[in-house]
Chain A
Amino acid sequence: MTVQKAKTLFEKIWDAHHVADTATGASLIAVDRVFLHERTGAAALKSMAAAKRPVCDPARVFAVMDHIVDTRPGRGDGTLMEGGSAFITETRAAAKAAGITLFDVNDRDQGITHVISPELGIVLPGLTLVAPDSHTCTQGALGALAWGIGSSEAEHAMATGVLRLDRPKTMRVTYRGKLAPGVTAKDMVLALIAANGAGGGAGHVVEFAGEAVRALDIEARMTLCNMATEFAAMTGIIAPDARTFEYLADRRYAPENFDEPYWHTLRTDDGARFDREIEIDAAALAPMVSWGTSPEHAMPVDGTVPQGPPRAHDYIGLDAGAPLLGTPIDVAFIGSCTNARISDLRRAAAMLKGRHIAPSIRKALVVPGSSAVKRAAEAEGLDAIFTAAGFEWRASGCSLCFFAGGESFPEGSRTVSSTNRNFEGRQGPGIRTHIASPETVVASAIAGMIADPRELLVGN
């Protein structure tokens, strides 16, 4: 009688994609989907064309305009970033020549890669998916092995259908208990990174598990997995369950025979071993806000700033021991592949309804994660709530999650942002970014200072 070794979810997907060993003991791992965007897509496709290497299966390669596309109404190929149009027009031409599927600037399906890929059912449980974008780990929320790569690796995947990889280590992060009201998936992942460091997941695939993870809806699971890259993990992944299958039903690229038996095997077996395990008490978590210049510089909103690197304190302008609550802000931003899906916008709008942002706020933006999210929000009247409250309502794209040289925030601004990176200069030279949940962004925008979203919860 043979006894099957207990496997982790990651090991099952890895083994199912193992094509061959290389001469030096690495693996050729089959890649099921490749996603490109205009910032690097043209470079990769042009380089392949120059080397006369065709895309081996164009039907499984997709591209979208998201990174530098204009988000103002009535947009075309023009960008606020100088020279940005070339990235759009060259990616369009290269995508057409390569025969891959492109979601263009004004396509109904346009949006941020990691928002539209699940929306369209391009990512599926058990698939491998890569993109030259670090936040590809977001898509692990559907039970896929999805990770960010460089442009050369994107070329490799498109030209050969595989990547050459050394097997990563495995980590399980288990969130015990239930989240308190006002605490979200964003706070879960920020708490993990704050406690274990921005390099804490290096070399690992991280499976998120436990009661608090199972209780998250699919979009919140995407928020959790989104910041696995901020933990230096290869990716994050969550075992698919009934919620996942329900989410994917009737998505355009998902199989019609939806009840794929293989998908039900995609979970970590009892007794499977991880290289590392971390447990977190979800019930003890508070809304988290970053205080410094790395996602590891995150803290409970009602705490005091800890001692960090002097350079981080200098840049952000907050001393150790100072409270975050009450710190005046200039900008509020809701957007990005982390927190700009319809559920994020619904929760933000529910808090904003009948309220207005503080007069001291110099810029407040909502940038939906996809054109489909924008349409859905408009159908529900959320756009009217945001604009009545003083937010600008934009077309979808990555927008001011990063500064590409075009649109920026007012010089020296302090922002509260639903994005994923608070690096020096990430949102523009000298811009001081506090990353947080959409709830915390809204509460802070109303107060004109960093504020605790729990005080605005319905019933309080």
Chain B
Amino acid sequence: MTPFIILSSRAAPLLRDNVDTDAIIPSREMKSTGRTGLADGLFAPWRYLDAAARTPDPEFSLNRPEASGAQILLGGANFGCGSSREHAVWALAEYGMRCVIAPSFAPIFRANCIRNGLLPVTLPEAAIAPMAWQAITVDLPAQEVRCADAVHRFEIEPEPREMLLEGLDAIDLTLKSLPAIEDWTSLDRKARPWVYLERTQ
């Protein structure tokens, strides 16, 4: 996974509350069983006047010329609500986004971001709105977003911060604790035998 340390980019606004993962990537745009080929379907219901013909809606934020190359998306409250589909994050990442800044996130979407090297930054709505179309810097070690003269500190738990900074693969990291997990499991088998199943089919 690519580490996330510091990122400077223009910020594209999508300042609507409750942007759901069906809007980020509709089920009908999830055409393969893999994790790729999703960028084209990103925000398909809003980005295209005719999704089938892929006719862009020039009014949609990401279709504006100044959105070209933007790696930061500004969102509204409860961003990424709804379906747990990780395709929403895969689509954003494949499109080129590395960071989403919003007043709040839906929890599954936020966890999916962290597992894919995409930084979710929580800031108040009043701090986010002036960043629209500005060149901003997101600095994870300092936990700051800098926009013109304004500096906004953001909070992130130590665990996801470390995972993003180091570009760590969570499974590789956890497998280092395998002996502890196996010890715990063998004790648990005695304490809670009813939890453990035999294969029946």
Is the C-beta of A160 less than 8 angstroms from some C-beta in chain B? yes
Nearest CB on B from A161, distance (A): 6
Interface string of A410-424 (1 = CB under 8 A from B): 000000000001011
Of B34, B161, B184, the residue contacting A19 (CB under 8 A) is B184
B78 contacts A30, C-beta separation under 8 Å:
no
Tell me the residues in window 51-103 of chain B with beta carbons closer than 8 Å to chain A beta carbons.
Answer: 51, 77-78, 81-86, 89
B196 contacts A59, C-beta separation under 8 Å:
yes
A160 contacts B171, C-beta separation under 8 Å:
yes
A19 contacts B78, C-beta separation under 8 Å:
no
Expressed in whole angstroms, the Cα–Cα distance for A425 and B77 within the complex equals: 20
Expressed in whole angstroms, the Cα–Cα distance for A255 and B23 within the complex equals: 42
- Please give, as numbers and ranges, the residues of chain A lying within 8 Å of B181 by CB-CB distance: 19-20, 28, 30, 160-162
B159 contacts A24, C-beta separation under 8 Å:
yes
Of A40, A58, A151, A164, the residue contacting B174 (CB under 8 A) is A164
B28 contacts A161, C-beta separation under 8 Å:
no
B180 contacts A20, C-beta separation under 8 Å:
yes
* Interface residues in A, total, Cβ within 8 A: 82
Is the C-beta of B142 less than 8 angstroms from some C-beta in chain A? no
A156 contacts B84, C-beta separation under 8 Å:
no
Expressed in whole angstroms, the Cα–Cα distance for A20 and B27 within the complex equals: 37
Interface string of B171-196 (1 = CB under 8 A from A): 10111011011001100100010111
B81 contacts A232, C-beta separation under 8 Å:
yes
Interface string of B30-48 (1 = CB under 8 A from A): 1111110000000001000
Is the C-beta of B157 less than 8 angstroms from some C-beta in chain A? yes
- Please give, as numbers and ranges, the residues of chain B lying within 8 Å of A306 by CB-CB distance: none
Of B82, B184, B195, B198, the residue contacting A421 (CB under 8 A) is B82
Is the C-beta of A186 less than 8 angstroms from some C-beta in chain B? no
B107 contacts A153, C-beta separation under 8 Å:
no
B159 contacts A309, C-beta separation under 8 Å:
no
Q: Which of B12-20, B133-141, B145-153 contacts A (4 or more CB under 8 A)?
A: B12-20
B33 contacts A134, C-beta separation under 8 Å:
no
Q: Which of A277-285, A334-342, A399-407 contacts B (4 or more CB under 8 A)?
A: A399-407
A46 contacts B28, C-beta separation under 8 Å:
no
* Interface residues in B, total, Cβ within 8 A: 62
B22 contacts A402, C-beta separation under 8 Å:
yes
Expressed in whole angstroms, the Cα–Cα distance for A166 and B159 within the complex equals: 8
B196 contacts A60, C-beta separation under 8 Å:
yes
B33 contacts A42, C-beta separation under 8 Å:
yes
Is the C-beta of B111 less than 8 angstroms from some C-beta in chain A? yes
Of B20, B45, B188, the residue contacting A429 (CB under 8 A) is B45
Point out which of A39, A47, A202 has the most chain B C-beta atoms below 10 A from its C-beta: A202
Expressed in whole angstroms, the Cα–Cα distance for A82 and B51 within the complex equals: 16
B174 contacts A153, C-beta separation under 8 Å:
no
Is the C-beta of B10 less than 8 angstroms from some C-beta in chain A? no
Expressed in whole angstroms, the Cα–Cα distance for A232 and B34 within the complex equals: 27
- Please give, as numbers and ranges, the residues of chain B lying within 8 Å of A322 by CB-CB distance: none
9 tightest Cβ-Cβ pairs between the two chains A and B: A405-B28, A199-B78, A150-B86, A26-B159, A255-B194, A150-B112, A24-B158, A152-B115, A134-B84
Given A30-B184, A426-B20, output 9 extra A-B contacts at Cβ < 8 Å. Answer: A28-B181, A30-B185, A87-B33, A164-B159, A198-B18, A198-B78, A232-B81, A403-B26, A425-B45
Q: Which residues does B use to contact A, with CB under 8 Å? A: 16-18, 20, 22-23, 26-28, 30-35, 45, 51, 77-78, 81-86, 89, 104-108, 111-112, 115-116, 157-162, 170-171, 173-175, 177-178, 180-181, 184-185, 188, 192, 194-201
